[in-house]
Structure 1
Amino acid sequence: MVSLALVDDHPLLIEGIVSLLSRADGFEILSTGSSARDIIDISSRLHPDVIIVDLSMAGDVFAAIATSIKLSPNTKVVAFTAATGVDSAIRALDAGANGYVLKGSNAQELIHAVESVRQGETYITQNFASQVIAALRNAPLRRVAAEVVQFSIREDQIVRLLLRGRTNKEIAISLKISEKTVRNYMTILMQKLNARNRLEVVIAAQALSEQEHIRSAEIQPRQPRLLS
């Protein structure tokens, strides 16, 4: 059962989403709110698995997202918003959001986003994702592609699987390690690639692969390619 909370200052929208998710299998609604402050309060008190938040509410929502994650590290955040600007999406992801779903999306996409972030993925509305990725490619992240990055054998294996679209659970099964170990390696990869989230790890790894700057720290002078 996935525990959820919703924070949006539109009562009718909250009512509709609560009704939708309550009818879907595997979800439990813990609480609702209507301001940035409520994001922090609900996360710190109830520690839901996933909290769905609007970006256009009273208070600094982006700061609230960052604070809530510090107070409840296991809570995943999905921004559910009408803001179609790439800058808003990048700010939300930079603050720690794991998902970004536009309010024009259908109900099934919101459910899929919740399920994806719960599994450790980053989810962005499909028709909008390409714009966000393009913006990230032009961000300071690009400078990583000019560097030589050393990966251990295990890190290299995980990056290869990431580039094939594997989830944390699938990577764990494939490599016969725990999901917790995969998450630990993801943290290391984020540090090495100067990435803020899983999506940026993939983008940086793709850039490195294209320019052949990746080296294995444990097998020299091996020069592995990430894409098979």
Structure 2
Amino acid sequence: MSKPITVAIADDHPVLLAGMVSLFSSSDKHQIIGQASSADTSMALVCDYNPDVIIMDLSMPGDVFRTIAQIVATAPNTKVIVFTAFCSIESALKALDAGATGFALKGSPSSELIEAIDTVMAGQLFVTRQYASQVMNGLRERARRQALAEAVKLNVREKQIIGHLMQARTNREIAAQLNISEKTVKHYMTGLMLKLKARNRVEVVIASRLRQDQQQDANALS
């Protein structure tokens, strides 16, 4: 017979806590090794017992999201499943960002919590079916915005030069406006073409405008 999955439960609601203990106590696949009722005691519980899984409520006293991140950082073998009555997409995204690999709702059947444990123990992400598509869309959109923000970083001088390019100014005119040499402007132009994957000054302007439009779209979605 395989070794049971060790489970810790962190919830400050006594009735619900007792119900979860009863659920897992009747299972040969799971072993309850400890309970906690706050974010701080959750961290201590993980440090003391190193469970395979800790099931955490979001409404406990303390900073639960920070504790999730601490658990993931200090006990990487412990999987964190959020089991909560809070059903906002933002709560799910924040928990997953902190390092949780499971998000289940308290209003769901108990079988879903068992499924969540099996899923995260298999190295996969579990999100309650009710919100799975919305949460995954949120994760993809967040990743897209982050990639966009990190894709091209322009310094202040490069942004100034692009501003002048958009006004159709020549290198000599830009140099005069910025009180730098024309050779320095050419140096920045070379760097801009590399960063923006542009072949000439016209493509630099086009790429810059496209980048601005994308950033505006990303900001509107955030």
Give the deviation of 1:143 after TM superposition.
5.8
Write the distance in 2 (CA, Å) between the matches of 1:72 and 1:56: 22
**Is 1:65 matched up with 2:68?**
yes
Residue in structure 2 matched with residue 116 of structure 1 by the alignment:
119
Report if aligned partners of 1:39, 1:65 keep a CA contact under 8 Å in 2.
no
Output aligned runs, 1:1-228, within 5 Å. 1-141=4-144, 144=147
Q: TM-score, normalised by structure 2?
A: 0.63
Does the residue aligned with 1:126 lie in a helix, a strand or coil?
A: coil
RMSD of aligned Cα (Å): 1.9
Return the offset for 1:130: 0.9
Q: Which amino acid in structure 1 is aligned with residue 10 of structure 2?
A: V
Gaps of 5+ in 2: 152-222
Q: Which has the larger radius of gyration?
A: 2
Higher relative contact order (CA 8 A, sep 6+): 1
Q: Could you tell me how far 1:3 is from its partner in structure 2?
A: 0.2
Matches of 1:25 and 1:128 in 2, distance apart?
Answer: 30
| Higher helix proportion | 2
Q: How far has the Cα of 1:144 moved from its partner?
A: 4.4
Contact map agreement 1:7 1:34 (CA 8 A) in 2? yes
Q: TM-score w.r.t. structure 1 length?
A: 0.62
In structure 2, C-alpha distance between the alignment counterparts of 1:70 and 1:38, rounded to whole Å = 16
SS at the partner of 2:96?
helix
Mapped to 2, the partners of 1:79 and 1:85 lie a distance apart of 13
8 Å contact kept, 1:43–1:71: no
1:58-81 superposed Cα distances (whole Å, 9 cap, x missing partner):
100000111112221100000000
Q: Deviations over 1:28-75 (max 9, x none)?
A: 000001000011101111100000000011100000111112221100
Q: Percent identity?
A: 46
Contact map agreement 1:6 1:51 (CA 8 A) in 2: yes
Q: For residue 86 of structure 2, what is the amino acid of its counterpart?
A: A
**Residue type matched to 1:39 in 2?**
S
Unaligned runs of 5+ in 1: 149-228
Mapped partners of 2:139, 2:100: distance in 1:
15
Q: Which residue of 1 aligns with 2:207?
A: none
